Amino acid sequence: MNQDVYRALQQQMDHYSVGFPQTRSGVEIRILKKLFAPEEAGLYLDLSLFLEEADSVAERTGRDPGQTKNMLSRMADKGLIFRLRRNNTVRYAAVPFVVGSYEFQLGNMDKELAGMVEQYFEEAFVPSLGKIATLPMRTIPVNKAVSVTHPVAAHDDAKQILGSQKKIALANCICRTQQRLVEKGCGKPLEVCFIFGSHADYFVENGLARFVTLDEALAALNAAQEAGLVTQPFNVTNPGGMCNCCGDCCGVLRSLKLLPNPAQAVLTNYYAECDSSLCSSCGLCAERCQMDAIVFDGRDGTARVDLNRCIGCGLCVTGCPEDALSLLPVDSNKRRTPPSGVQELMLKIAQERGKSLMPLKMQGK
């Protein structure tokens, strides 16, 4: 029976976001057993991605109100579901594995879980991400990399995204935390992930982040970009969070790096270009590039940008001592605007994957 509920849980999670596919080794079930008690898995299957009060869940599913309330609260504390407190009410919702319960395990990540996640990444996450046209994260340029002659849309401007928030929390990177536990990854800054609004409340309430001022957030952003991290907000116009990622640790960038044409998979409105007459072939741009998009070829050995791999982050531009690199906007007919909100994004990804956001237990009723 327990095995059945965990398989049902895996199948339900596989409908959300980038999915949670079954593997030959069964590592996905071991992850779920590590995170969920059997009764918690069963309750998750009665939830949806839409927020709902505990009493409503209990009434709808025929559960005891007090027990349901306590279990939902415990599951939110464990990072298994999302909790929103507002106007003296508390509501709960299911979350995908990525972006969702995986990120919520920041305080619970240990060596055992980190090892299982690494195995899952290799067996399932990379193949599944390569089949998705719309990713949950997108790349935006380093502010200093874009010339003032090229206006930047608000949704492509990290500083404007931060400046528009009423509430900002700063957390450690879950991917860099996980990679350190499996003795991989890099030595880049750890506290570089921003969370906004109600998600910031949830992270701080669960001890996963701390509230920061706008000035503190901008300082953290500058430090992350100076360290060579790619800025990736959630793939909507008004994101609930924004990460600063590297190709060594980030699950999304690590997966993209394995693709032959990463630029095709990313919603980015910029690309880098090198002026060979200014290039000194120092190699600093290649060191900062997270997609291996910088190559040195030709008779003069100067840098060239492989546009099939360039995701338009601008890190090569800000690292060039000769000002040989520029970040340019794509043609106007190729510019893309991200989905307006999370619901639209999740629905779009689900449709591309041939999935439904309706819980499996509710389908056909």
Q: What is the pLDDT of residues 330-341, one digit of tens each?
A: 988 888 888 899
For residue 296, pLDDT over 50 is answered with yes
**Mode of pairing for the β-strands spanning 89-94 and 81-86:** antiparallel
Choose between 154 and 12: higher pLDDT.
Answer: 12
The answer to whether the 2-106 and 262-334 domains have the same CATH topology is no
Model confidence at 363, in pLDDT bands (50, 70, 90)? confident
Q: In this predicted model, what pLDDT tens digit does every residue of 133-186 receive, in sequence order?
A: 889 999 988 876 665 445 555 677 999 999 999 999 999 999 999 999 999 988
40: which 2 tokens?
């918690």
Cα separation, 43 vs 206, in Å, equals: 20
For residue 365, pLDDT over 80 is answered with no
136: which 2 tokens?
């949950």
Q: What is the DSSP track for 150-197?
A: S---GGG-HHHHHHT-S-EEEEE-HHHHHHHHTT-S--S-SEEEEEEH
Do residues 79 and 39 touch, judged by C-beta distance below 8 A? no
In this prediction, residue 335 carries a pLDDT of: 86
In this prediction, residue 175 carries a pLDDT of: 96
In this prediction, residue 148 carries a pLDDT of: 43
The mean pLDDT value for 34-48 works out to 97
Question: What are the residue ranges spanned by the domains of the chain?
Answer: 2-106, 127-256, 262-334
The mean pLDDT value for 205-225 works out to 97
For residue 3, pLDDT over 70 is answered with no
In this prediction, residue 42 carries a pLDDT of: 97
Q: Whole-structure pTM over 0.85, yes or no?
A: yes
197: which 2 tokens?
């609004």
Cα separation, 248 vs 187, in Å, equals: 10
Q: How buried is 54 (Cβ within 10 angstroms: 0-12 exposed, 13-18 middle, 19+ buried)?
A: buried
Domain 2-106 part of CATH 3.20.20.70: no
Cα separation, 150 vs 328, in Å, equals: 8
- As a CATH number, domain 262-334 is 3.30.70.20
Burial per residue of 91-112, b for 16 or more beta-carbon CB atoms within 10 angstroms, e otherwise? bbbbbbbbbbbbbbbbbebeee
In this prediction, residue 318 carries a pLDDT of: 92
Nearest alpha-carbon partner for 158 in 131, 188, 138: 138
Q: In this predicted model, what pLDDT tens digit does every residue of 227-268 receive, in sequence order?
A: 999 999 999 999 999 999 999 999 999 989 988 889 888 888
For residue 297, pLDDT over 70 is answered with yes
Q: In this predicted model, what pLDDT tens digit does every residue of 321-362 receive, in sequence order?
A: 999 999 999 988 888 888 899 989 999 999 999 999 988 887
